[in-house]
Amino acid sequence: MELTESLQDYLLEIYIVKTKRGIVQLKDVAKRRNVKFPSAVSAIKELVKRGLVAHERYGYIEFTDAGIDEATKLYERHKMLYKFLHDALDINENLAEKNAHRIEHGLHRETVLKLAKFVEFIEKSKITGRNRWIEHFHKFVDTGELHECHEKGGKRMELKLNELKVGNKAKIVRVESGMGNLKTRLLDMGAVPGTVVKVEKVAPLGDPIDILIKDYHLSLRKEEAEKIVVEVI
């Protein structure tokens, strides 16, 4: 039989107290749940009946093997939701803790798994130094401004010319093979690595793309712009 939301909360609170203090008493659980003592007694009795905890009158509350497994799963889910709210959405600790409690019961298992993957992605991004997008998101929340700088591992990230927006400037890194006569034209115009280009206009469907190289205007087809690798400045 599945646990009710209330019993899940009790099991989670017991786990948290056990982790912090090593021992769990009824008064601790009642205080954390902000309920009267008789309510806590009834909940613990139900958990005992389900074989999740053991409790003697006036004694400590102890987990059974089944109870610690279930409590660990609940805690990991709660911790994941807290990290999502606090680390990704930048919600303060107290509010993130309260909100994690409020939303964890209503989420479908598939949603929980996807959120868990997202949190894992955030943590791995921090380890590799590729988490600047989080900073950019927080700035967007505060100011409404999009960050135009594309970075990877603390270095400028290479993009294809067709990926730039109107008004963006970038330095040419290289012109890939397969450009035919256009590559010769670009070289004749001085479009060597390091040359600054600016996107002047893009057609509604992304083709053609009008760029400015030095004093020259050049119209490129999308497949041509894809062959020009640039670095945003």
Tell me yes or no: is domain 151-232 CATH 3.40.50.720. Answer: no
Per-residue pLDDT reduced to its tens digit, 201-225? 888 777 788 888 877 888 888 888 8
Closest CA to 114 of 72, 73, 84: 84
Average pLDDT, the chain: 83
Confidence of residue 129 (pLDDT cuts 50, 70, 90): low
How far is it between the farthest Cα atoms of the chain?
90
| Domain residue limits, the chain | 5-63, 151-232
Q: Check whether 80 has a pLDDT greater than 80.
A: yes
Q: Check whether 135 has a pLDDT greater than 60.
A: yes
| pLDDT value at residue 231 | 84
| pLDDT value at residue 146 | 64
Separation CA 77–CA 84 (nearest Å): 11
Per-residue pLDDT reduced to its tens digit, 21-72? 899 999 999 998 999 999 999 999 999 999 999 998 888 999 999 999 999 9
Separation CA 123–CA 75 (nearest Å): 18
Closest CA to 162 of 146, 145, 151, 176: 176
| pLDDT value at residue 115 | 87
The helix-helix angle for 93-103 and 65-83 (nearest 10°) equals: 120
Separation CA 63–CA 196 (nearest Å): 66
Specify the CATH number for 5-63; select among 3.90.25.10, 1.20.120.140, 1.10.10.10, 1.10.274.100.
1.10.10.10
Q: Which of 77-81, 109-113, 170-174 has the highest mean pLDDT?
A: 77-81
Per-residue pLDDT reduced to its tens digit, 147-157? 554 445 445 56
User: Computed over its alpha carbons, how large is the radius of gyration of the chain?
Assistant: 29
User: 7 is written with which tokens?
Assistant: 């019993």
